[in-house]
Chain A
Amino acid sequence: MKNRLKVLRAEHDMTQAQLADAANVSRQTINAIEKGKFDPSLPLAFKFSKLFKKPIEDIFQDEEE
């Protein structure tokens, strides 16, 4: 799954640690998601959606799309 987490984080001028703080996960998790090594759960995806005020499909896209 592709994601725009890194771009959105940069747009909001946030570090990985700050985003991790906001989402209540480890920085390792944010890094793994940004690199596409780990797909987050639906609740975590909703957290990102709320934090960035964007629909989930604007943050995460299917690789085949």
Chain B
Amino acid sequence: MNAEHTNLKSQLKKNTKRLSIWTFAWVITVALVSFGAKFLWDFNEAISIAAIILNLITGIGLILANRRYIMDLDELQRKIFMDAMAMALGVAVVGGLAYSMMDITNVIKGDAEISIVVMMIGITYMVSIIIGNFRYK
């Protein structure tokens, strides 16, 4: 009886650790590409391409680790995550396009930055997960 639940818990722990490692690796490669070109290899194109390829590889690892993490959750937890992802996707499309239109119509000063959209997606995802957990508490 306990063994099964321990399996669920230990699997979750294992998947969380795996996801953390891939996330950390991906963040490092993002920083490497963003700052390395200027401070480490003086915009050498070959090194930049190699760094971007490394970033994409770790990004694929991150996506697969996230997928594995969600697939191994139990059905209620998975529903909470799926609902949060649906919200995040909606906000990304609707909010991202609205933000882009603000740029086109000069409602905002300066250019629209992709980092703002990424932050918006991240915040929506986190808030949705908190609300989902609260709803099914």
Contact = CB atoms under 8 A, between A and B. Distances in A.
B56 interface: no
Nearest to B3: A21
A26 B76 CA distance: 8
Nearest to A43: B75
Majority SS at the chain B contact face: helix
A25 interface: yes
A25 B8 contact: yes
B100 interface: no
Contacts of A22: 1, 4-5
A21 B136 contact: no
Contact of B75 (A18, A20, A44): A44
Contacts, number: 45
Interface in B98-137: 133, 135-137
B136 A20 contact: no
A41 B2 CA distance: 22
A22 B1 CA distance: 5
A29 B77 CA distance: 8
Interface residues of A, number: 17
B79 interface: yes
Given A18-B1, A21-B4, A22-B1, A40 B136 contact: no
Nearest to B135: A37
A61 interface: no
B45 interface: no
Interface string B56-87: 00000000000000000011110100000000
15 contacts: A21-B1, A24-B5, A24-B7, A24-B8, A25-B74, A25-B75, A26-B77, A28-B76, A29-B75, A29-B77, A31-B136, A32-B136, A37-B135, A38-B76, A44-B75
